[in-house]
Amino acid sequence: MSTTEHAQGAATEPVFAVRNLWKVFGPKAERIPGDARLGELSAAELTARTGCTAAVRDVSFDVHPGEVFVVMGLSGSGKSTLVRCLTRLIEPTSGTLHIDGEDVRAMDKSRLRELRRHRAAMVFQHFGLLPHRTVLDNIAYGLEIQGMGKVERRARAEEMLAKVGLDRLGDRRPGQLSGGQQQRVGLARALATDPEVLLFDEPFSALDPLIRRDMQDEVVRLHREEGRTMVFITHDLSEALRLGDRIALMRDGGVVQLGTPEEIVAAPADDYVRDFVRDVPREQVITLRRAMRPAVGDEAITGAVLPPSTRVVDAIEAVARTGEHVRVGEDGNVLGVVCHSRLLSVVAGLDSGHGGEPRGEKAGAI
Ligand SMILES: Nc1ncnc2c1ncn2[C@@H]1O[C@H](COP(=O)(O)OP(=O)(O)OP(=O)(O)O)[C@@H](O)[C@H]1O
Ligand SMILES: [Mg+2]
């Protein structure tokens, strides 16, 4: 999945723009965000002192069009609260929140309804299907609420059913499906209204690992084929690394690091994040752009060439095969090189490399 265009995507207006968002549960919640001294307390101290829980604490981020934005963190870190605040299923305590430039906190009831029905669809962990309706009617439900006619909505629901690979199961009830199939119905139902953004709250955590993998592939495919914007909550690091263009890592209501999977694995912001990513196979995530070093002597002239987006694991294969260094090239320029020791130090976590821009005189034409 491409990350650079999203990470840099300042030119386009964000789908969601969130600034200094707080959600505090408890008595007189609204005094907490404005009070610098209370705001500095740890989660436990805040609860002891005020009886309040700051489920979301001064959080700011943008979600860019076409991006899979993952919110990750341990249980209780505030993920669900944060995502529910985006469509005001939970009312934020303070901060600003825009969708396509429109102020969500200023929306009246009917505008909010429109937002939830047409623009942002939610997929939940426990599917939320209606047990007495057929699969097809479940998928068509959102369209029915929108006022679409029966023939049209059934046709649309059939189309969505095929899209998630359940063509022949439209007449069953949800109880007659496996967990994985039910979640596919949940996904089809969310897609039926053709929302601008899909919000997933741990949709696959109840599924067994193989089916889970299948559903992740489905999300990757939807993203690739339709370029749909998604906000995806998970507490599973490998799922986050697999799906996310960027990951916001939450702890006690705050975002401790926001970055690409590679940034989070290669340059953890603090010990908490470092601990979180400790067991990740670094060579699967880190790319040559970060692992390379400047070319020395005639290294820039000989050797195989790989693009900077190549993962270290794939470069290891090339270096092992040829026994020589590999050049990292882009647009006809050599940005740097990687050799055995460089690649091994990435695997060992000794040096995540500096990568970045080609360094003046060391960069040359291929
Ligand atoms: N309605 C509520 N009233 C009081 N506290 C709440 C309420 N909802 C959530 N909280 C608290 O806010 C914090 C964040 O909860 P949240 O559900 O957002 O966490 P989460 O990261 O989604 O966790 P999980 O992975 O278990 O789903 C928790 O401490 C939780 O107990
Ligand atoms: Mg949750």
Torsion, Cα of 293, 295, 299, 303 (10° steps): 50
Ligand 1 touching residue 126 (CB < 6 A):
no
Tell me, in angstroms, the distance from the centre of ligand 2 to residue 126's CA.
Answer: 11
Ligand 1 touching residue 180 (CB < 6 A):
no
Ligand 1 touching residue 254 (CB < 6 A):
no
Query: Ligand 1, closest atom to CA 78?
Result: 18
Question: Are the C-beta atoms of residues 23 and 93 closer than 8 Å to each other?
Answer: yes
Nearest to 264 by CA among 229, 290, 231: 290
Ligand 1 touching residue 57 (CB < 6 A):
no
Counting ligands in written order, which one lies closest to the CA of residue 73? 1
Query: Ligand 1, closest atom to CA 26?
Result: 4
Those residues whose C-beta lies under 8 Å from the C-beta of residue 315, and which sit 6 or more positions away, are: 288, 291, 306, 326, 338, 343
Ligand 1 touching residue 92 (CB < 6 A):
no
Ligand 1 touching residue 73 (CB < 6 A):
yes
For residue 203, the model assigns a pLDDT of 87
Query: Ligand 1, closest atom to CA 82?
Result: 18
Atom 29 of ligand 1, residue of closest alpha carbon: 76
Q: Which two tokens stand for residue 299?
A: 């290294």
Taking the C-alpha atoms of residue 30 and residue 15, their distance in angstroms, rounded to an integer, is 27
Q: Is 40 helix (H, G, I), strand (E, B) or coil?
A: coil
For residue 355, the model assigns a pLDDT of 46
Ligand 1 touching residue 79 (CB < 6 A):
yes
* All domains in the chain, ordered by first residue: 4-282 (3.40.50.300), 283-365 (3.90.1280.20)
**Residue spans of the chain under pLDDT 50:** 1-9, 353, 355-362
Taking the C-alpha atoms of residue 149 and residue 10, their distance in angstroms, rounded to an integer, is 40
Tell me, in angstroms, the distance from the centre of ligand 2 to residue 80's CA.
Answer: 4
Backbone φ and ψ of 254, nearest 5°? -105, 160
Atom 6 of ligand 1, residue of closest alpha carbon: 25
Per-residue pLDDT of 66-95, as tens digits, reads 999 999 999 999 999 999 999 999 999 999
Tell me, in angstroms, the distance from the centre of ligand 1 to residue 69's CA.
Answer: 20
Tell me, in angstroms, the distance from the centre of ligand 2 to residue 73's CA.
Answer: 9
Atom 25 of ligand 1, residue of closest alpha carbon: 75
Question: Are the C-beta atoms of residues 230 and 224 closer than 8 Å to each other?
Answer: no
Tell me, in angstroms, the distance from the centre of ligand 2 to residue 231's CA.
Answer: 13
Per-residue pLDDT of 27-76, as tens digits, reads 999 999 988 888 888 888 999 999 999 999 999 999 999 999 999 999 99
Query: Ligand 1, closest atom to CA 90?
Result: 1
For residue 361, the model assigns a pLDDT of 42
Tell me, in angstroms, the distance from the centre of ligand 1 to residue 282's CA.
Answer: 31
Query: Ligand 1, closest atom to CA 23?
Result: 12
Ligand 1 touching residue 274 (CB < 6 A):
no
Ligand 1 touching residue 88 (CB < 6 A):
no
For residue 21, the model assigns a pLDDT of 97
Ligand 1 touching residue 234 (CB < 6 A):
no
Taking the C-alpha atoms of residue 104 and residue 91, their distance in angstroms, rounded to an integer, is 10
For residue 365, the model assigns a pLDDT of 64
* Amino acid sitting at position 61: F
Counting ligands in written order, which one lies closest to the CA of residue 250? 1
Atom 30 of ligand 1, residue of closest alpha carbon: 76
